[in-house]
Structure 1
Amino acid sequence: MSEPVRPIEKIPDHYFRLHHSEKAYENEAIQTKSVNFYQDSWRRLKKNKGAVASFVVLLLILFISIVSVWITPHDPNAQEVRYSFLPPKIPGVSINGFNGYAKQGDRWVDVYQQKQVPSGSYYYLGTDKFGRDLLSRLLFGTRISLLIAFFAAFLDLTIGVAYGLTSGWIGGKVDTVMQRILEIISGVPTLVVVVLMLLVFPPGIVSIVMAMVLVGWITMARVVRGQTLQLKNQEFVLAAKVLGQSPLKIALGEIFPNLSSVIIIQTMFTIPTAIFFEAFLSFIGLGMRAPSASLGTLINDGYQTFRFYPHLMWYPALVISLIMISFNIFADGLRDAFDPKMKG
């Protein structure tokens, strides 16, 4: 026979006691401050020294370009032919090549004294063939190139995001038609579009921006469409549909905020591309026209006299290289910060 089941004895209450120590509460307390997605991305970005350094360089270039609207050593378009091709002269510097001396034959000659430049007049980066101050023109040209790039990037962002979001969110036949239109536009060479723009608009900022806008937003639209197709079937979008939100509210309130990181990264890559494209057009004579300056026109002017006055091309080439490298490094840092899984 099986033994009878013994009743469970009640454990006395004095066997238990409440633990009120401060250490117990400290162990259960949240030790770190809660952060959102952008705060966490900024924390990762700050750890990337190359991206931070590039960001500082870009801010410095942008600040100098804006300040140069009111403060420049000389008028960037003022011509003084008798002072043409002056070498750089920096106050307090005695190094040949930066003190007003230039090598003529086998000896260094004070070109400022030779051309009877008034005492106290300094051209920190020298002058061009028309006697215009290179530093003033470089500041002016950098500002114009950045203005064109930012304006083109803004229009690129506006058109590309709207087009890609609409195509990916609606889908179906609408998406198919919109993508075929993209393929047709992307099949037209960019240089052909530029030449056509020059037939409609006079050479200058408007024609360059319009040419870049007509073909530059395609990449943004495709990137946004691809991300939208991935997000539209996520659980939070389906939940918004169940709650009865309108398609427009879901697209703008649920999907668009989740595209912000992709849009920012793509924009950071678009700006240097636009700067290089503007410089290329100005270099081949299809962009800015005299007497206006841009980085492309300055490089073209320096290229023509590079054998005899190489510094006229070195400085604008150095500035555009610095801008391009800084933007690309900063964009890489943003990509790694927003999506650490993409870091290679």
Structure 2
Amino acid sequence: MENTNNINKDLFKPVSEDRKKTHEKARPSFTYWQDVWRRFRSNKLAMIGLAIIVAVTLFSVVGPLLSKFNYYTNDYASANLSPNLTHPFGTDNLGRDILTRIMYGGRISLTIALVASVISFVIGIIYGGISGYFGGAVDNIMMRIVEGVSSLPLMIYVILIMVIVGQGMTSLIIAIALTYWVDMARIVRGQILQLKQEEFVLAAKTLGASSTRILVKHLIPNTMGPIIVNLTLNIPSAIFTEAFLSFVGLGVPAPKASWGTLCSNALGSYQLFPYQLLFPALALCITMFGFNFLGDGLSTALDPKMRK
């Protein structure tokens, strides 16, 4: 072996400053999620959507704690008051403060939408992951079940569940979750079908990894981008679905009220008292815009093709 002490040191010289600059990084190194946040933060509409969602959540969760009114006490002497200092959004036909009822309605609407979306998220990931990974006969059978579930209208699920469980938040959550998991399962299945052909999956199989470990540790984490986007867009869709069901009388029972129920109650007298319909409808629209802006921003930020 050659002795390194005999190397001629004259053959070496310090690197010049100009040479160093050629090896400097063109930009700071970011992890995938850091780059996602950087792109998301640069999207003004996405940040506006995030701000709206935070504001609506605080409005619905903290607001009722600061109000001196509640959502159920009738005050017939104050019925149908126009917006004023005591009642900024006015009162309804039973004298209840509309602002407070919108706050409580936001709790109900957001809770139903979030819980139903999370349930569909979990079911869709598990179902779609198994279907896409195993393929073949398993995939064919599972997809036929998906087609059967999606072929039935939402209203049928709602009516059947209300007959069994009764009217209320639980019925709405179950009905929405039973229909929304189908789209999530299809998205996850499509992503898994593409990713399971990749070399890292073959390497994991070669090393003896079980199917469960490959799905949980390797495949599903690599599908989180489209899944998160779909989840974010499912929430406003679930809010609108809940509002529609409440509007037609299939929502939470009185005196509780969601935004859809408030709109339905105000519809009969909106020509005389338009503010009773305006404010809950405005709360619903603003929330829908917020989640849609957030979902569009996440879709762009999570797209690997957008990374520079």
TM bucket (normalised to shorter chain) is over 0.9
Report the Cα distance in structure 2 between the residues aligned to 1:64 and 1:145, rounded to whole angstroms: 13
Q: Deviations over 1:175-232 (max 9, x none)?
A: 1110011111111111111111111112110110111122111000000000000000
Cα-to-partner distance string for 1:146-165 (whole Å, 9 max, x where unaligned): 01100001101011111000
Alignment of 1:218-257 (within 5 A): 218-257=182-221
Structure 1 residue 78, shift from structure 2 partner: 1.1
Larger radius of gyration: 1
Match of 1:10 in 2: none
In the TM superposition, what are the counterparts of 1:328-343 in structure 2 within 5 Å? 328-339=292-303, 341=305
- Provide, for residues 82-105 of structure 1, a one-character-per-residue CA deviation record: whole Å limited to 9, x for no partner: 110000013xxxxxxxxxxxxxxx
Equivalence for 2:58: 63
Residue 52 of structure 1: which of 13, 27, 47 is its match? 47
Whether the 8 Å contact between 2:70 and 2:100 is mirrored in structure 1 is yes
1:263 aligned onto 2:258: no
Tell me if 1:212 matches 2:172.
no
Task: Give the alignment partner of residue 160 of structure 2, picking from 176, 192, 196.
Answer: 196
Q: TM-score, normalised by structure 1?
A: 0.83
Q: Contact (CA 8 Å) 1:283, 1:299: kept in 2 or not?
A: yes
For residue 15 of structure 1, report the CA deviation from its aligned partner: 10
Give the percent of matched residue pairs that are identical in Structure 1 and Structure 2: 39
Letter in 1 for 2:240: F
Alignment match of 2:29 (pick from 28, 31, 34) = 34
Verify the 8 A CA contact 1:87 1:127 in the aligned structure 2: yes
Please say if 1:305 is aligned against 2:300.
Answer: no
- 2:290 corresponds in structure 1 to 326
SS of residue in 2 equivalent to 1:52: helix
2:151 is aligned with 1:187:
yes
CA distance in structure 2 between the partners assigned to 1:192 and 1:154 by the alignment: 22
How far, CA to CA, are the matches of 1:20 and 1:334 in structure 2?
Answer: 44
Structure-1 separation of matches of 2:305 and 2:72: 50
Kept in 2: contact 1:75–1:136 (CA 8 A) = yes
1:250-290 CA distance string (max 9 Å, x none): 11111011011111100001100110011001100011121
Cα distance in 2 for residues equivalent to 1:170 and 1:192: 32
C-alpha distance after superposition, 1:79-133 (max 9, x if no partner):
101110000013xxxxxxxxxxxxxxxxxxxxxxxxxxxxxxx111100000000
Residues 36 and 301 in structure 2, CA contact (< 8 A), matched pair in contact too? yes
Q: What amino acid does structure 2 have at the position aligned with 1:42?
A: W
CA contact (8 A) 1:335 1:342 kept: no
- The letter for the 1-side match of 2:48 is A
- 1:36-80 Cα offsets, whole Å, 9 max, x none, are 111111111111101111111111111121112422241121110
Greater RCO structure (CA 8 Å; 6+ sep): 2
- Higher helix proportion, which one? 2
Alignment of 1:159 onto 2:123 = yes
Residue 135 in structure 1 maps to residue 99 in structure 2: yes
Alpha-carbon distance in 1 for matches of 2:294, 2:35: 17
C-alpha separation in 1, matches of 2:48 and 2:302: 18
In structure 2, stretches of 5+ residues that fail to align are 1-7
Which one is further off, 16-25 or 223-232? Answer: 16-25
**Residues 26 and 82 of structure 1, relative CA distance in 2, 3 Å threshold:** same
1:340 deviates by 5.7
Cα displacement string for residues 15-34 of structure 1 (whole angstroms, at most 9, x for unaligned residues): 96624334433432335332
| In structure 1, distance between residues paired with 2:221 and 2:84 | 52
Q: How many matched pairs?
A: 300
> Distance between the aligned counterparts of 2:155 and 2:9, measured in 1?
89
Query: Paired residue for 2:5?
Result: none
